[in-house]
Amino acid sequence: MSFLDILLIIVSSAGLLHGLLFALYLCFFKKKKTATNLLLGLILFFMAFRIGKSVMMNFGDDLEPVFIFAGLATMLFIGPLLRWYILGMTRPDFKLPKKKTAELIPFFLIFVSSLFITREWFDDNNRMAIALFASALIFIYLHFAFYIFISWKTMQNKKMNYQKAIQTKSQKAIFDWLHLLIIGFVIIWISYVLNLLDNEVPYIIGPIMYSLAIYFLSYKAFQLKTTEIDGEAFKENDNTALFSEIATLIINEKLYLEPDFSLSKLAKLMGQSTQKASSVINQYAKRNFNDFINYYRIQDAKELLSNTEGEKFTISSIAYDTGFSSLSSFNSAFKKFEGSTPSTFRKSQIQTD
């Protein structure tokens, strides 16, 4: 075995092991036990089995047909699992109805059939056996592609009901995560299909693409904290209406121009606790109270800085007129939102004019 083969085994096997460990963590060691974490764990487990078959087939000799077919059959299980996972991540109070388990019938039929396949069928160059194998292979890959497609459609339909302006942090994280997850599955599917269509594409490409995908997706899962949330993030409540009232009050009444306007004052005006007001702003504005207020102050400041008549106003006066209590806080906030200082912004507007 060459050094390259050894390196390819290590890379593909490392991703397989990583996926298995992640699956075990989600199913048994994660403190927050949810249906979605269990479904994701099962997806990773069966994907690892499927990838393991590919690694053994690429580097092993005389792999039994029963193992080959069993590995291929797992794709008929992964497709429904993926769809159920998408439903669980986008629907509150998700429960798996018994009738949905009928989607697993193709998996059980192919898997049970694989137990009766012998090597002699193919050694004898049996045309019927080869035709059955080819037909099963095409069906399995089309079946998987179909489930990837309807999973994407399910996510897109849900996303259309939630405009970007009213998405909470959790909802946005779920949409971002599911988008990346489906792309990962598409890449893996394409890598295997290319192998089937063109013998020049090494079979080991599939496991390598899986390894790269699983490392990236597990990193994003923890970054977006998607193992901590599920479809409950879409549960209807009064928070959307409350945020709309808060935004309307602050913007229409220009309360953000008041230097002493605080979270406690806002909460008192809304008849809510400071914790509730802060939580709603964090979720829907995707920033804390201070940044939320400063954003609108900066928008007013930009208008004054862009206005040629406003050149008679100093930057300090603009800072105080837009609600900032000091020039330093104004400069910091302006740079945070615009990426430049107020003076640089003013100069660029004058040059443009």
Sign of CA dihedral 328, 332, 338, 341: positive
Has residue 170 got a pLDDT over 80? yes
- CATH architecture for segment(s) 3-234: Up-down Bundle (1.20)
The residue among 45, 28, 137, 52 whose CA lies nearest residue 85 is 45
Has residue 330 got a pLDDT over 90? yes
199-247: per-residue pLDDT in tens?
566 767 777 888 888 889 999 999 999 999 999 888 877 788 888 889 9
The span from the CA of 303 to the CA of 321, in Å, is 12
Element (H, E) at 242: helix 239-252
Contact (Cβ atoms closer than 8 angstroms) between residue 302 and residue 333: no
Q: Report residue 226: phi and psi, to 5°.
A: -75, -15
pTM score, two decimals?
Answer: 0.71
pLDDT at residue 142 in the model: 93
Chain-wide mean pLDDT for the chain?
84
68-89: per-residue pLDDT in tens?
778 788 889 999 999 999 999 9
293-308: per-residue pLDDT in tens?
999 999 999 988 887 6
pLDDT tier, 113 (very low <50, low <70, confident <90, very high otherwise) = confident
The span from the CA of 353 to the CA of 347, in Å, is 10
pLDDT tier, 67 (very low <50, low <70, confident <90, very high otherwise) = confident
The span from the CA of 216 to the CA of 210, in Å, is 10
Has residue 178 got a pLDDT over 80? yes
From the CB of residue 169, how many other CB atoms can be counted at a distance below 10 Å? 17
Q: How far apart are the first and last CA of the chain?
A: 69
Three-state DSSP state, 328: helix
Domain spanning 239-352, CATH class: mainly alpha
Contact (Cβ atoms closer than 8 angstroms) between residue 197 and residue 271: no
- Domain definitions of the chain by residue range: 3-234, 239-352
Contact (Cβ atoms closer than 8 angstroms) between residue 207 and residue 51: yes
